[in-house]
Chains A and B, each alone.
Chain A
Amino acid sequence: MEAKEINPNIDRNEKVISIRGLKKAFDDFEVLKGVDLDLFKGENLVVLGRSGTGKSVLIKIISGLLYGDEGSVNVLGKEVGTLKPRELDALRLKIGFSFQNSALYDSMTVRENLEFPLVRHAKHMSEAEREELIHYVLEAVGLAQAINQMPSELSGGQRKRIGIARTLILKPEIMLYDEPTAGLDPITCIEINNLINEVQSRFNTSSIIITHDLTCARAVGDRVVMLLDGQFQREGTFEEVFDSNDERVQSFYNYNFID
């Protein structure tokens, strides 16, 4: 595992996301039961939990794709639930969202996928500047050669990388990763973990990584929180979180193959 490079110029006490008492239910099923969470500038926060515990719901609420039923979600000083559409769009430009299935636009080439947000939100850029930026982010994710390929021609790991490149192109302050290593082979998982760390150091992003993969959690997480029964039950470094006699925590650990 590669050692993480930490930018010493970042004020790590500054909160970029602050969530208090967040509740969310779907019909009668309460997924989040009063969640409190802080994300500090420049840190990688891993949210662990079993499938269906509301991890993805949490980051969808942060990005304004879903709304919470109760509680406050403050992102970069803005209360997400109260923003007007235009204000929400402005905030979204500072948030990068990497989807579980990459969510690349099937009908567009890699270049067009990366150009898509630029054409709409960086109108001041010339075509040459745009091209340069596309090459820069593609190089950052190690896929400069894939520029003219269609998403269907890429492997799962490559699609994930391009998905991350597409979110990086608008230089976000916050990255939200939804199951970044789901469905990938162990070698590709390590590559994605390294990429997440590289994004953190190279682009100075603060990130929330949603996963149930403990190898990923240990490799990328500066801090780990564990979502159990709709609330965060454990918080700390990877070792601190799993230094517990709680049967649910231990069973979660034992079902993952690490070391």
Chain B
Amino acid sequence: MDLDKNKPGSAPARRRYVTTRRLDRIFVELANIYRFNARFFKEMWFPPYEFKEIIKQCYEIGVRSLPLISLTGFIIGIVFTNQSRPSLADFGATSLLPALISVAIIRAIGPLVTALIAAGRVGSAIGAELGSMRVTEQIDAMEVSATNPFKFLVVSRVLASTLMIPALTMYTTLVSLLGGYLNVHQNELTTLTTFFYQVFDAITFLDIVASSIKSVIFGFTIGMVGCYKGYNSSKGTEGVGKAANSSVVTAMFLIFIEELLIMQVINAIRAF
């Protein structure tokens, strides 16, 4: 029997100490995340409402993302159609391309690509902005002037992100379908009417509802993660960089997990 393992300062005791400290930190972080989310849901209902700031953030998140989203969505539509054609051509089923594109883009690619791009563009911007406001004491300045910084900065950004990501998702989906149409039209000479007739014929009401719910959840996740990381960023410029970086990484990780879980739920509903 190892009699030294409980001795203070021994290697096993140090390992236990380090493990306990790590676990402590994880639980404290989980409690902080819970409190942050709970505070958001509590504060969003009560006045004063920062409408001006919400509209400003909607513009920042929604309108200013349009060029990047348009380009990405359009290219993805073309590339996806191009890459799918050979597989269908092997079975002589290229006429099913619009249906395939429709299901893939509306069910998964549209919401996922929009969320990933927004996580990179919007999540990092929110994380860096709030992080730098924390470091330069701007958040403290709001607090001492009796303005609720959580309401002004966090509630407005999370609401704007939750509202704008679904709108951007619809837009990305449309632009991707247009990209797909151009490719199909060029190769199979399909008309716009026929293409969109097949697109809408292939999807169900459940697909649109699921896609919308998914994008609302993605939007909330991106806003919340960016705000949490930035608002609680540690002091110093290094903290700002870390807040921006971990906003993107954490949001992307959560988006994939959420996609997986929502897909399972929707498939279960579809089977039912």
Enumerate chain A interface residues (CB-CB to B < 8 A). Answer: 60, 63-65, 89-90, 92-93, 95, 97, 99-101, 103-107, 116-117, 120-121, 166-167, 170
- 1/0 per residue B21-64: CB within 8 Å of A? 00000000000000000000000000010000000000000000
Q: Across the interface, do A101 and B137 meet the contact criterion of CB distance under 8 Å? A: yes
Q: Counting CB contacts under 8 A, is B140 at the interface?
A: yes
Q: Which 5 residue pairs spanning A and B have beta carbons closest together?
A: A103-B141, A89-B146, A103-B137, A97-B144, A92-B146
Q: Across the interface, do B138 and A106 meet the contact criterion of CB distance under 8 Å? A: yes
Provide 28 A-B residue pairs closer than 8 Å at the C-beta atoms, listed in order of the A residue: A60-B140, A63-B144, A64-B144, A65-B143, A89-B146, A92-B143, A93-B146, A95-B144, A97-B140, A97-B144, A97-B145, A99-B140, A99-B141, A100-B137, A101-B136, A103-B140, A104-B141, A105-B138, A105-B141, A106-B132, A107-B129, A116-B147, A117-B146, A120-B48, A120-B146, A120-B147, A166-B145, A170-B145
- Chain B residues lying within 8 Å of A99, measured Cβ to Cβ, are 137, 140-141
Q: Across the interface, do B145 and A116 meet the contact criterion of CB distance under 8 Å? A: yes
Given contacts A60-B140, A103-B141, A106-B136, 4 further A-B contacts (CB under 8 A): A63-B144, A99-B140, A101-B136, A117-B145
Q: Across the interface, do B147 and A117 meet the contact criterion of CB distance under 8 Å? A: yes
Q: Across the interface, do B138 and A90 meet the contact criterion of CB distance under 8 Å? A: no
> What distance in Å separates the Cβ of B136 from its nearest Cβ neighbour in chain A?
6
- Chain A residues lying within 8 Å of B133, measured Cβ to Cβ, are 105-106
- Chain B residues lying within 8 Å of A101, measured Cβ to Cβ, are 136-137
Q: Across the interface, do B140 and A92 meet the contact criterion of CB distance under 8 Å? A: no
Q: Across the interface, do B138 and A121 meet the contact criterion of CB distance under 8 Å? A: no
- Chain B residues lying within 8 Å of A63, measured Cβ to Cβ, are 144
Docked complex Cα distance between A187 and B144 (Å): 29
- Chain A residues lying within 8 Å of B141, measured Cβ to Cβ, are 97, 99, 103-105, 166
- 1/0 per residue B137-166: CB within 8 Å of A? 110110111110000000000000000000
Docked complex Cα distance between A67 and B79 (Å): 58
Q: Across the interface, do B136 and A65 meet the contact criterion of CB distance under 8 Å? A: no
Docked complex Cα distance between A48 and B140 (Å): 23
| Nearest B-chain residue to A86, judged by Cβ | B146
Docked complex Cα distance between A170 and B133 (Å): 22
- Chain B residues lying within 8 Å of A100, measured Cβ to Cβ, are 137
Name the one of A65, A105, A106, A121 contacting B144, with C-beta atoms under 8 angstroms: A65
- Chain A residues lying within 8 Å of B48, measured Cβ to Cβ, are 120
Name the one of B132, B136, B138, B145 contacting A92, with C-beta atoms under 8 angstroms: B145
> What distance in Å separates the Cβ of B219 from its nearest Cβ neighbour in chain A?
22
